[in-house]
Amino acid sequence: MSKGEILPTAQILAVARTFVGMVSSRAYREAMPFDDAVKLLLGLSGSEFESKPISALVNYLDNRDGREQWAHFREQPSDAAE
């Protein structure tokens, strides 16, 4: 690896954290649909993110039950005051 090159594990984490942040419900907004988040990531492929981790995420979501396994991220958080 050359100096200044981003580690592959860091690239994977960057894509995963960005995706989870987009598809997660927040107290102030609804969760973004998985397909919309994937479209945004694909649009950033090659500029903000490497394409391989995005391709791996799409493969996981579409072919390895990733949508079902990550569905809990879309749940609205409960109000802490309750």
**pTM, full prediction:** 0.81
Q: Is residue 52 part of a domain?
A: yes
Counting the structural domains of the chain, the total is: 1
**11 bridge partner residues:** none
Query: Would 67 be classed as within a structural domain?
Result: yes
DSSP bridge pairs for 45? 49
pLDDT tens digits for 24-77?
988 888 899 999 999 999 999 999 999 999 999 999 999 999 899 888 888 876
Question: 3 vs 48, which has greater pLDDT?
Answer: 48
| Residue 77, phi-psi category: left (phi > 0), alpha (psi -120 to 50), beta (remainder) | beta
State residue 79's pLDDT score: 60
Residue 44 lies in a domain: yes
Q: Is residue 1 part of a domain?
A: no
